[in-house]
Amino acid sequence: MPGGGAMTELVIQGALSGLLIGGVYGLIALGLNLVFGTMRVVNFAQGTLLMVAMFMSYWLTAKTGLHPYLTPLLTLPALFGLGYLIQLWLVSPLLAREKAREPMSVLLMTLGLSLVLENSALMAFSADYKTVQVGQTNAVWFIGDYIISIARFWGLLAMASTVALLWAFLTRTDLGRAIRAVGQDRQVARLLGIDDRVIYNFAFGISTAIMGIAAAALLPFYYTHPAVGTTFLLKAFVIVVLGGLGSMPGAALGGLAVGVIEGVVGIFTEAAMAQIVLFAVFVTMLFFRPAGLLGVERK
């Protein structure tokens, strides 16, 4: 066993590494939380939409030589349109038919959509792992005795920038305020002349577009695969509960917390045990603070 000083350094290194990957976790949870906060709908297809975004970024990089960090310039509009149409064509009819705040049919539909997209990708692209190599892939910074992955640092920076831009959009624009109003009280928003159906379309589209940013951040250091979204979706649910349902800063904080837990626990035990500890924290949070760290209890 290493001495006390060496062990402290290992823990700090694990926390730093976890903090960096936590930025990408927070990005994915941010999209999931936006849909839930606005529509009260759990989108089981969020992870698969991340997979779609990763394949889009991968093929743009592989076929055109475009750097992964520049692919959102092309993927964000396409992903926004995809999310908008999913909401318009698949989700809205179910919401209108059931007239429930949280219809079970929407949850099942997004789960079915996830299976369709994942298996379609499997047939189209095979089960092979696909990776790209760019300058940031293996590059690191040394800060004293600690190692900072440049690719993961850019992921953390992308998350912080996205949270700031999204918060500014939600608080300083008419459309953003309308999204918040519908999320707080749909009926009152209708009385104020807000068409909640159109707002839902935009919220779902923005949520899907955020996956384009997450995909670009992941691509330099993570593989692309038809089932890649499943792993991140499970973490995103944990993050949403930890940070607070419907809270954008909570998604960022929850992502960082999950990354740090994984990084530190992974030093002392196997990766599987780190996941057990993570889900134990998840269950504990459900018992003692179901609204999450920054969430608000809903009546």
SS (H, E, C) the chain: CCCHHHHHHHHHHHHHHHHHHHHHHHHHHHHHHHHHHHHCCCCCCHHHHHHHHHHHHHHHHHHHCCCHHHCHHHHHHHHHHHHHHHHHHHHHHHHHHHCCCCCHHHHHHHHHHHHHHHHHHHHHHCCCCECCCCCCCCCEEEECCEEEEHHHHHHHHHHHHHHHHHHHHHHHCHHHHHHHHHHHCHHHHHHCCCCHHHHHHHHHHHHHHHHHHHHHHHCCCCCECCCHHHHHHHHHHHHHHHHCCCCHHHHHHHHHHHHHHHHHHHHHCCHHHHHHHHHHHHHHHHHHCCCCCCCCCCC
Question: Does CATH number 1.10.3470 belong to domain 4-288?
Answer: yes
Cα gap 96→207, rounded to integer Å:
21
| pLDDT (0 to 100) of residue 76 | 97
Cα gap 113→41, rounded to integer Å:
14
Mean pLDDT of 183-203: 91
50 pLDDT higher than 60: yes
Question: How would residue 288 be classed by pLDDT, with cut points 50, 70 and 90?
Answer: confident
| pLDDT (0 to 100) of residue 96 | 81
Domain residues of the chain, as ranges? 4-288
| pLDDT (0 to 100) of residue 68 | 96
Residue predicted with more confidence, 297 or 215: 215
| pLDDT (0 to 100) of residue 99 | 64
Count other Cβ atoms within 10 Å, centred on residue 80: 19
100 pLDDT higher than 60: no
Name the phi and psi angles at 295, rounded to 5. -80, 165
Is the full-model pTM beyond 0.85? Answer: yes
Mean pLDDT check: name the lowest of 102-106, 137-141, 261-265: 102-106
- The percent of residues above 90 in pLDDT, for the chain, comes to 61
Residue predicted with more confidence, 152 or 269: 152
Tens digits of residue pLDDT in 236-272: 988 988 888 778 888 899 999 999 999 998 888 877 7
| pLDDT (0 to 100) of residue 39 | 86
Tens digits of residue pLDDT in 71-87: 999 999 999 999 999 99
